Structure 1
Amino acid sequence: MHLFKTSEKYFQVHPWLVVEEGFDPQKQRLAESIFSLANEFMCVRGYFEEGYSGDHLLGSYFSQLYETLEVKYPQIFKGFVTEVAAMITAVDWLYTRITLDGETLDLATAQFSDFKRTLDLRDATLTREFIWTTGSQKQLKLTFIRFVDLQMTALGCQRIVLEPLNFSGEVHICSGLDFNTIYELAAGWDQTQGTGASKQQMAQTNFWTCERQQCVDDLHAIQARTQTSGCHLFSSFRVAADQPITPRLIEREKFIGIELTLNVQAQHATVFEKMAVNHWEQTADADQVWTNGLQLAQQLAEVTFDQALAEHRRGWTDFWNRMDIEIEGDPELQQGVRYSLFVLYVNYHGESERRNVLCKLGGEVYSGVNFWDTEIYCHRMYMFLDPKIARKLLMYRYHYLPKAIQNAQRVDLEGARYPFSTITGLEDSGTWQHVDLEIHQNEAIYYAIWHYAHVCQDKEFLYHEGIEMLLQMCRCMASWGGWSPKNGDFGFYGVMGPDEFHMMVNHNCYTNYLGKKMFNYTLEVLAEMQRDAPELYQQAVTKVQLRPEEPREWQRMAEKMRILKDEETGIYEQHDGYFDLPHIEVKDIPMSQIPIYKHWAYIRIFRYNMLKQPDFLNLPYFFSQDFTMEEKRQNYEFYEARTSHESSLSPSLHAILAAELGKLAEAYNFLAYAARLDLDNYNRNTEQGIHSSSAAGVWASMVSGFGGLRTDAETLIFNPTIPEQWNAYRFKIFYRGALLAVHVTHDKALFKVVEGHSVTVSIYGQSHRITPEGLEVQLLQ
């Protein structure tokens, strides 16, 4: 194996905490990303709420809240995307300014010591503390605590503890809601720049127009709208302190706030708290948004910081009780694995089926969109956490089915073409070579529908929403594909596979293989419904106006689908002509040329057999029973040697297959890389945000990799292994009404139902009934 990138150790290792001790201004953007907090509805980076004049990114985001932006090309062709959506920076509801002796706190210029910033993964709280020494040598210890409520997701909570060490006196605080925020990436994403943002072109990129601001009793509220997308964001706050306060109202353009004075006593802690409530809608009725937001704020008016924190912690305790992965003997990897689980759950926990997993959390790069990563990487984790959450992710796609049909028409296709990169349900990226050539998004959604129905056995979903999506996606894929006049077989021409280092290729193996699977599965579901649910069958075919000849065509297309394979070597050819591409030794590429996107001319990338990330290798994982162990080994060794791992999605898939093949040391190294990808800034781009899909891959590397979980047989399959670095590990999955706990040591594996009824699984090829009493098997290495 070969992994070019080196770690950049900065944060302390702890099983449940991420700690920054001492402050390095050069690491501020990195730390802001790592210390991001979210609750599915909203997200804030770990920026300093008291203001910071040094380099930073003030990021405050709301899922699905976007602004539309024009895409500018020197030349436009039919089908080009000309308008996209981006999740813009919204209200700074944490806004605080602290003044002592006429000096306003700013860590870029102030004298301070004992700086420590801590993210507690157990309850998703961020704490920051330091001692500020003013020009007059007064020392004030400050502790900031924040969280975004997991249960009441409109609620953002802030606590500031002020403790004078050598004086008594007055501290002045200004607290408010600020819409004067900048969306940096509006100036352009420059792939040659380290941060992604083109700072040379940075202009005034604020997209908010204030509509209304008002003080209602002790509630301060403001509402603003985006310029073109019609999103209205209501934000409000209340403050409290452990002493009487007399706030003074401050109103400015795009800002509402208060000023107050705290009388602080030496060696005594004074507490100031702020509770913010945010609400947004996309509508033409701005007054209704204000009314709805105000009602919500008033409903939550009596909730205190401590009450909210208690409920918030209960939600997190339940999550960790069900989804924690424990590793004995490897603290660095333990921290990385738990951080990955944390990232996925703060990103999405199933509150709404109108939201999706953000590809990148706590940053502007990728603009808050979701990709095929949701269905391929993230959906399976949620499926084994709680099937209801997995169903909501599929329902998200169903709600956007009309937009997918519209998106297909844009590129002269029938049926539904789900967008490659989206917030709105349409294509929300102007990089045409990806959004228009990577047609495997449809196939990813097919896979998630099949996987969910197969594992969770939800026929109600399959026979209603699922079949409708399948029929429209099959119709689209049939209209994209074509017949070879030379060979008489079928396939997809002019595509880009998941690898992304080869553009406009024919017969990409991954795309063709999944296309064949999708056609066959859809026909199976139709036949099953015709037999078992004829009324629903008729309802489905009538709704999509299925033509009688279409199923016959799909059957023929599946039968004649071209799947490229060298029968002598057993290697599946990634795409037509791949074996004939010039070879490059990936392991010999110098570190100075990594990342490749930033150092190679873009067009140069496509001329070699180098891969960005797994393409064909996904298939032996998704459909493990379709391939022999020897086929898996041959293809893994062939393609891994040609993979640059330029994508954050790559290491986890390789870890899964390496573990299955008995390459445990290799699997461990891939997992360790994936688990600490952002914590150790391997890609040198953590400052742009956290790789959410990669975090889902870490879960899969543990459960499907070393746990040996495979899901494409009649029952779950486990083939557990353990690397030499660990003493033991534990994980849980929810399966068909049972919470199943797995505990693996170097000698044995213990399987036990800890909630629910007994279930049948396969372990090392033998069928076993797992009960609450548990089952112990000897570990096979």
Structure 2
Amino acid sequence: MKNYIKHNEWQIIEEGFDPHLNKISESIFSLGNGRMGQRANFEETYTGETLQGNYVAGVYYPDKTRVGWWKNGYPEYFAKILNATHWIGLTITINDEVLDLNTCKVLNFSRVLDMQQGTLTRKFIVELSNGNVLGVEAIRFCSIVDDEAGVIKYTITPQNFDGKITVESSLDGDVKNQDSNYDEKFWNEISAKQVGDCALLNLETKKTAFWVSSAIYTAIYQNEKDLGLKSSFISKEKYVAQQFTVDVKKDQSTTIYKFAVNLSSENYKKEDLETTTIATLKRVKAKGFNQMLAEQAKAWAVKWQNGDVIIEGDVAAQQAIRFNIFQLHQTYTGEDARLNIGPKGFTGEKYGGSTYWDTEAYCLPFYLATAPQQVAENLLIYRYKHLEKAIENAEKLGFKDGAALYPMVTINGEECHNEWEITFEEIHRNGAIAFAIFNYIRYTAEQKYLAEYGLEVLIGIARFWAQRINWSIEKEKYVMLGVTGPNEYENNVNNNWYTSTIATWCLKYTIEAIGLVKADDAKKLEQILTKTKFDTEKETSHWKDIIEKMFYPIDEKLGVFLQQDGYLDKEQILVKDLPTVDRPLNQKWSWDRILRSCFIKQADVLQGIYFFEEDYDLTTIQRNYDFYESRTVHESSLSPCVHAIIAAKLGDLDRAYEFYLRTSRLDLDDYNNDTEDGLHITSMAGTWLSVVEGFGGMRVKNNQLHLHPVLPEKWKSYAFKIGFRHTIITVKVTTEKVSLTNESEHELNLNVFGKEAHLSANGTLEINS
């Protein structure tokens, strides 16, 4: 675990430059706006260890997979969000020496991510080998107002010399992905040109033929005045630049303003792309840096107004929750239903930038409560639009009659994950998608979504489960063979309790959903049944038989749900007895040793208890929690939040707080030694869940909002807002009371501490803790 980020409520601060931490910081200080994102690479040349990354939403490449391609039904490629044109580049040459923090002496260095404004500021003083000392202040942001634009203000101040500085402001498309399976570069040049005082580079992806057009405008200022310098235009393969030479004097500052835009053929016709790119660049540069910064700050203030979580008395906890919320908003805005949330967002290449089940299981609740309803709905529409692909994915594996298997990993709806035990065994992701539909409807009460989109998805998923199980003569039960549960430290197991539980829940809910649509719009139901060729009597009868006769592994002696058949055959060693040198297991042990151990990567049985807690009494939850928590190593970013929520429900606030810190500071403190390849964006929603559902006890039951707040010992108070069915409610919890403030014109009946309560329109309610 690292501990070099300074604690601050609204800023992420690094003081001092350690090259060994640089790739971690490049992830932590990343910027994005939902349409594009940029790792915290340096603007100037850096020859040290770095992971360069600029990403444009929706643009991907089908990189040919290196394993498993000979197996029937195996994906031929792994989809990757591409490292796109490097737009921030400024090659700075001072009296014939290139500025490079890897070769010069760094006298002072700081990096600050301002989460209120969405800006990254870097300040440093360096001494070059020629004895020149200079200071630099660089500020940049990816605009969330103009979401195809980024801007840089880069100020150089000589401290002991006069001379000349050459600035080469570039667009470099000769880039590659670090995780390219065959070290292939994925871009071809379409055009590179100078257009007036702008430089433009238009590239095309191989195979997928996406075009990304990037353009820059650069200006040099001294004494707050544009010097009006004319640039020299430089062009080589997949590279364009504007070059300037300027005289500088000791203690006189020279400021470089660089405006950049990245537009893709996902959003514009190819024949119009270059013209639109230049027009977009001219529009943003006409605003100027100061106006764009003011607009940025104002737009972020709106996001924080509804999404902030305020913690008093614990700066580390406060900083962490805001960092997680900030990165979620940088990754996904919900304005485009074609886009989704990659596990690394725009901060790194691992996992290909593709969509996993994380979105439905962890992210949807965050957006339901903190964003306009359309944002969450677009996450579900994304899956509806991929239904035909999900049916095709199932057909490739031998399923039929409209059975749908949603992919473990996807960009376009087609399965592209390259590990068999995950791709074809970790099928519980189907259940998470169905649960998200249920979660959306119980939260919003918008049952019309079922008729418009949801029921077709549910029928496809239910058909898959009905075909995936088989009848066991020995058990006289239906069984689920050859699966991988959420605990990926187990592969190809039989009767994973969570998978079987969520499968039968999906069958139950689909039957219920058919009834709901029939009651609401019988004509629409008939259309859906005709479209899906659904035999109501035959299929639902079979589903009910499965529901009644499904096998679930249980150990009666211990009183726990068994993770899968034979789990107790493993040597039962507890995590507390693991030598520290063995952690993390995935970096220290062989895969064979991990698979034979009892250790659990992330919540598995407890994932099911979290989803379906209303089905179990507290004694059952406690027994299962005690048993599985002691065997869980939390080597998945998705794990600690589930344990935090359950621990809080059980009244174990010390453990809940410990898990909250672990999930919230996972990347800031690099708990699992894996932050350098990108942040864990989807698990960041779990941080919010840890506060709101964990300590806040927020649930939706029987069409009603429930709250059961508890206060961690180290906190003086905490507060959060939730949007629920046309109301916006601020919940503040102190040692003495819970205060609820309704910021809407709609009254609300809710349940607090198990008792009915009424919150008037624009009213306030106080309840003793």
**Quick check: TM above 0.5?**
yes
In structure 1, give the amino acid aligned to 2:357: W
Residue 320 of structure 1 aligns to a residue whose secondary structure is helix
Instruction: Rate the CA distance shift 1:219–1:530 in 2: closer, same or farther, 3 A.
Output: same
Residue 764 of structure 2 corresponds to residue 777 of structure 1: no
Map of 2:199 onto structure 1:
220
State the shift of 1:610 in Å: 1.9
- Report if aligned partners of 1:739, 1:756 keep a CA contact under 8 Å in 2: no
In structure 2, give the amino acid aligned to 1:775: L
Which of 373, 379, 382 is the aligned partner of 1:393? Answer: 379
State the shift of 1:265 in Å: 4.4
Map of 2:131 onto structure 1:
137
Instruction: Rate the CA distance shift 1:318–1:119 in 2: closer, same or farther, 3 A.
Output: same
1:489-528 equivalences under 5 Å are 489-528=477-516
Counterpart Cα distance in 2 of 1:271 and 1:744 = 47
Map of 1:381 onto structure 2:
366
- Report if aligned partners of 1:624, 1:712 keep a CA contact under 8 Å in 2: no
Which of 182, 186, 196 is the aligned partner of 2:176? Answer: 182
Instruction: Rate the CA distance shift 1:434–1:339 in 2: closer, same or farther, 3 A.
Output: same
- Report if aligned partners of 1:86, 1:428 keep a CA contact under 8 Å in 2: no
Counterpart Cα distance in 1 of 2:72 and 2:738 = 58
Counterpart Cα distance in 2 of 1:423 and 1:640 = 34
State the shift of 1:284 in Å: 13
Select between 237-246 and 298-307 the one with higher mean Cα deviation. 298-307
- Report if aligned partners of 2:41, 2:51 keep a CA contact under 8 Å in 1: yes
State the shift of 1:754 in Å: 2.2
Which of 6, 16, 37 is the aligned partner of 1:43? Answer: 37
Map of 1:461 onto structure 2:
449
Residue 357 of structure 2 corresponds to residue 372 of structure 1: yes
Map of 1:335 onto structure 2:
319
Map of 2:725 onto structure 1:
736
Map of 1:54 onto structure 2:
48
Residue 376 of structure 2 aligns to a residue whose secondary structure is helix
Residue 259 of structure 1 aligns to a residue whose secondary structure is strand
Residue 142 of structure 2 corresponds to residue 156 of structure 1: no
Map of 1:63 onto structure 2:
57
- 1:599-658 superposed Cα distances (whole Å, 9 cap, x missing partner): 222122222322111111122322222111111111110111111111111111111111
In structure 2, give the amino acid aligned to 1:428: C
State the shift of 1:479 in Å: 1.6
Residue 716 of structure 1 aligns to a residue whose secondary structure is strand
Residue 556 of structure 2 corresponds to residue 562 of structure 1: no
Map of 2:561 onto structure 1:
572
1:5-154 equivalences under 5 Å are 7-73=1-67, 76-154=70-148
* Poorly superposed stretches of 4+, deviation over 6 Å: none
Residue 401 of structure 2 corresponds to residue 412 of structure 1: no
In structure 1, give the amino acid aligned to 2:338: R
Select between 515-524 and 753-762 the one with higher mean Cα deviation. 753-762
In structure 1, give the amino acid aligned to 2:687: V
Residue 246 of structure 2 corresponds to residue 262 of structure 1: yes
Residue 690 of structure 2 corresponds to residue 701 of structure 1: yes
| Stretches of structure 1 lacking an aligned partner (at least 5 in a row) | 1-6, 189-202
State the shift of 1:267 in Å: 3.2
Counterpart Cα distance in 2 of 1:293 and 1:537 = 46
State the shift of 1:442 in Å: 0.9
- Report if aligned partners of 2:66, 2:181 keep a CA contact under 8 Å in 1: no
State the shift of 1:75 in Å: 7.2
Residue 463 of structure 1 aligns to a residue whose secondary structure is helix
Residue 302 of structure 1 aligns to a residue whose secondary structure is helix
- Report if aligned partners of 2:56, 2:262 keep a CA contact under 8 Å in 1: no
Select between 178-187 and 736-745 the one with higher mean Cα deviation. 178-187
State the shift of 1:483 in Å: 1.7
Q: What TM-score do the two structures reach when normalised by structure 2?
A: 0.95
Residue 117 of structure 2 aligns to a residue whose secondary structure is coil
In structure 2, give the amino acid aligned to 1:223: N
Instruction: Rate the CA distance shift 1:628–1:226 in 2: closer, same or farther, 3 A.
Output: same
Counterpart Cα distance in 1 of 2:530 and 2:507 = 19
- Report if aligned partners of 1:40, 1:347 keep a CA contact under 8 Å in 2: yes
Counterpart Cα distance in 2 of 1:321 and 1:490 = 50
Counterpart Cα distance in 1 of 2:429 and 2:187 = 33
Map of 2:676 onto structure 1:
687
Select between 562-571 and 605-614 the one with higher mean Cα deviation. 562-571
- Report if aligned partners of 2:33, 2:330 keep a CA contact under 8 Å in 1: yes
State the shift of 1:287 in Å: 3.6
In structure 2, give the amino acid aligned to 1:766: K
Counterpart Cα distance in 2 of 1:283 and 1:348 = 17
Residue 203 of structure 2 aligns to a residue whose secondary structure is strand
Counterpart Cα distance in 2 of 1:506 and 1:244 = 71
Residue 576 of structure 1 aligns to a residue whose secondary structure is coil
- 1:576-603 superposed Cα distances (whole Å, 9 cap, x missing partner): 2223333222222212222212222212
In structure 1, give the amino acid aligned to 2:314: D
Counterpart Cα distance in 2 of 1:55 and 1:297 = 32
State the shift of 1:288 in Å: 4.6
Select between 429-438 and 71-80 the one with higher mean Cα deviation. 71-80
1:543-562 equivalences under 5 Å are 543-548=531-536, 549-562=538-551
Map of 2:428 onto structure 1:
440
Counterpart Cα distance in 2 of 1:187 and 1:529 = 47
Counterpart Cα distance in 1 of 2:587 and 2:555 = 34
- Report if aligned partners of 1:230, 1:283 keep a CA contact under 8 Å in 2: no
Select between 136-145 and 124-133 the one with higher mean Cα deviation. 136-145
Q: What TM-score do the two structures reach when normalised by structure 1?
A: 0.94
- Report if aligned partners of 2:80, 2:352 keep a CA contact under 8 Å in 1: yes
Tell me the matched-pair count.
758
State the shift of 1:283 in Å: 11
State the shift of 1:728 in Å: 0.8
In structure 2, give the amino acid aligned to 1:404: A
Map of 2:223 onto structure 1:
none
Counterpart Cα distance in 2 of 1:449 and 1:695 = 21
Counterpart Cα distance in 2 of 1:416 and 1:618 = 23
In structure 2, give the amino acid aligned to 1:529: V
Counterpart Cα distance in 1 of 2:292 and 2:267 = 30
Map of 1:746 onto structure 2:
735
State the shift of 1:486 in Å: 2.5
Map of 1:207 onto structure 2:
186
Once the two structures are aligned, what percentage of the paired residues are identical? 35
Map of 1:191 onto structure 2:
none
